[in-house]
């Protein structure tokens, strides 16, 4: 257990802990927004399109070397 020598030390630690809590809360909110953006159907379409492009290029290269 931490030993405090003055009320200023206690206040400083309480302010630091409050700021850490606020940072953690904002980080969680940003992650929630990022996840909700990734789960939108438009994002699925974009991902499928990119995969189709990669597959198409792979098939083109494969056909070229045959």
Task: Give the domain ranges of the chain.
Answer: 7-65
Distance CA 20, CA 22 (A): 5
- Check if the beta carbon of residue 44 is closer than 8 Å to that of residue 37: no
| pLDDT exceeds cutoff 90 at 11 | yes
H helix or E strand, kind and range, residue 52: helix 41-65
CA dihedral 45, 51, 57, 62 (to 10 degrees): -140
Predicted structure pTM score: 0.56
User: pLDDT tens for residues 13-59?
Assistant: 999 999 999 999 999 999 998 888 878 888 888 888 888 888 888 88
57-65 contacts, C-beta under 8 A, 24 or more apart: none
């Amino acid at each position: 257990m931490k030993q405090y020598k003055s009320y200023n030390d206690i206040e400083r630690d309480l302010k630091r802990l409050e700021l850490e809590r606020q940072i953690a809360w904002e980080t969680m909110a940003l992650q929630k927004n990022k996840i909700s953006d990734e789960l939108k159907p438009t994002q699925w379409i974009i991902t499928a399109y990119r995969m189709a492009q990669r597959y198409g290029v792979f098939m083109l290269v494969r056909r070229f070397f045959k």
